[in-house]
Amino acid sequence: MPAKSIMIQGTGSGVGKSIIVAAFCRIFKKDGFKVAPFKAQNMALNSFVTRSGGEMGRSQVVQAQAAGIEPQVEMNPILIKPTADTKAQIIVLGHPLGNFSAMQYHKFKAKLLKVIKDSYQKLARKYDIVVIEGAGSPAEVNLREGDIVNMETARMTNSPVILVGDIDKGGVFAWLWGTIDLLSDEDRKRVKGIIINKFRGDKRILKPGLKWLEKKTGCPVVGVIPFFKHIRIHEEDSLSLDYVKFQKEGEIKIEIVYLPHISNFTDFDPLMEIEGVSVRYVGRGEPLSNPDAVIIPGTKNTIDDLTYLIEEGYVDQIRYLAKKGKIIMGICGGFQMLGKEVRDPWHIESKLTTVRGIDLLDAVSSIDRKKITHQVKAIFQINPVDKKPDGENILYGYEIHMGSTDLGSGARYLFKIVERSGKPVEVMDGAVNLKGNVFGTYIHGIFDNPYFTSWFVNLIRSQKGLAPIKYTPGGINLDEEYDKLCCWVEKNIDKKLLYKIVEKGMREGCCSDD
């Protein structure tokens, strides 16, 4: 029997759709249902590689984890990764289709409806409930024609819709009423409930407003979700302002350059857990201080972001710190930037053919047409500690890159990849300079390996004459965080009404009393 479905749409971006979907996935799972998330189209730079080597948005990975299932690309069949303000790489079912301008994609995307429908149906045949997420707002009148992710998906899947508004931003009643009022008559009937998210204060003060809203829109309020900070789950795909400002006092200081096209920023979460480590993101206009280590993260546009580092003066600052012996590390695009030059012979990222790099690694990178996406197993090539135990230098992570790097005599490889997507290989990766203070790798998730993270932190500590530590993960238990989210949302919604909407779907009177 095909799955039942429910769709979460929002009054705009950043109102909390992703987190509500994750919460509903956990609630339904806890209640004994097989549940899966689905988002027809996601725009994100923070992506993930599945076990089979497909790329998808990380928010659907979080939702799948909340549902207790393995992520698969059908949960996010279309992924848009911006490469510039008006251009993006389009990824379909985990693999790149090509780079499109905004107008090119607007004209093309209707051809992807079959991919979306087939992906949803594959999930619907396997699961009891599919929780669908919209994008942005369904009320963007200029984008209504050709929209494939909001009401078009709701119609395709015949799903009832719950509309989410963020009260923390202010104006939530006008925002909710205005959104519903701007919908067509047919789409307005699909909205079966409202959730007010991120509320601070006493709910009793809201009661007159809720009554007005229900009368004005004809939709019941399913719940009012209080603002939270105690649950450690990323709400959105982008790096939030609070996240950027995060820092704590520590014996060693690590600064991460906030690139305009920063991607996979979750690479550095383990560093934030470690006692005695201070992590700071350095944004535009902010100089590097005098950190013990600098990390250049991944990016969707290496050449643009390298140009940014040059123009904003960061390259000179990074070279100065490296000369002083400070630790410098680059991940993926950040690794490419650390070399002598970055070449773009096919003009995939820019009109430039070659850009001079930061020149801290004896390496030259080229941006290729083929995209490499794999979960990987690798062996640490340098000997950072005496007599390391057997197997301790085996590391796991994932690759997402369109490029390759050749080393000169002044650098050594950092890792040997021995497995890609479950198949044995022998591929050399990364680089370290002969002085031993500049590193780079294409492997994302490298700090999720306690052995490597301990080595990296202790390398910094040894430079400062500090005793070594052993990093043991324990800061975040995702299962516990999803359970906390489940409880938080469950106690602040009308669960009986939620199930009534799911059970009756688009039938008339689905929100009325029995």
Lowest pLDDT segment from 72-76, 426-430, 439-443, 477-481: 477-481
Tens of pLDDT, residues 19-59: 999 999 999 999 999 999 999 999 988 899 999 999 999 99
Task: Return the SS3 of 328.
Answer: strand
Angle at 51 between CA 479 and CA 22, to 5 degrees: 35
Q: How far apart are CA 432 and CA 437, in angstroms?
A: 7
Choose the catalytic residue: 219, 332, 486, 511: 332
Mean pLDDT of the chain: 91
Contact 9, 17 (CB under 8 A): yes
Q: How far apart are CA 380 and CA 270, in angstroms?
A: 19
Known active-site residue 511: no
Contacts of 88 (CB under 8 A, 6+ apart): 43, 80, 81, 82, 99, 100, 102, 105
Mean pLDDT confidence for 52-80: 96
Domains of the chain in start order, with CATH, are 4-232+479-504 (3.40.50.300), 241-463 (3.40.50.880)
State the pLDDT at residue 43: 92
Tens of pLDDT, residues 280-291: 999 998 999 999
Closest CA to 400 of 354, 333, 330: 333
What does the block give as tokens for 130? 């599919």
| H or E stretch at 182 | helix 172-182
Q: For the purposes of burial, counting CB atoms within 10 Å of the CB of 424, is it exposed (0-12), middle (13-18) or buried (19 or more)?
A: exposed
Q: Is the pLDDT of residue 484 over 90?
A: yes
Query: Phi, psi (5° rounding) for residue 53?
Result: 95, 15
Q: How far apart are CA 32 and CA 53, in angstroms?
A: 30
Tens of pLDDT, residues 383-406: 544 445 556 689 999 999 999 999
Known active-site residue 332: yes
How far, in whole angstroms, is CA 331 from its chain's centroid? 16
Mean pLDDT confidence for 73-77: 98
Contacts of 149 (CB under 8 A, 6+ apart): 39, 40, 41, 78, 134, 135
Choose the catalytic residue: 401, 444, 486, 511: 444
CA-to-CA dists, residue 156 to 48, 128, 506, angstroms:
27, 18, 12
Lowest pLDDT segment from 150-159, 241-250, 307-316, 500-509: 241-250
In sequence order, what are the beta bridge partners of 35? 129
Q: How far apart are CA 162 and CA 186, in angstroms?
A: 15
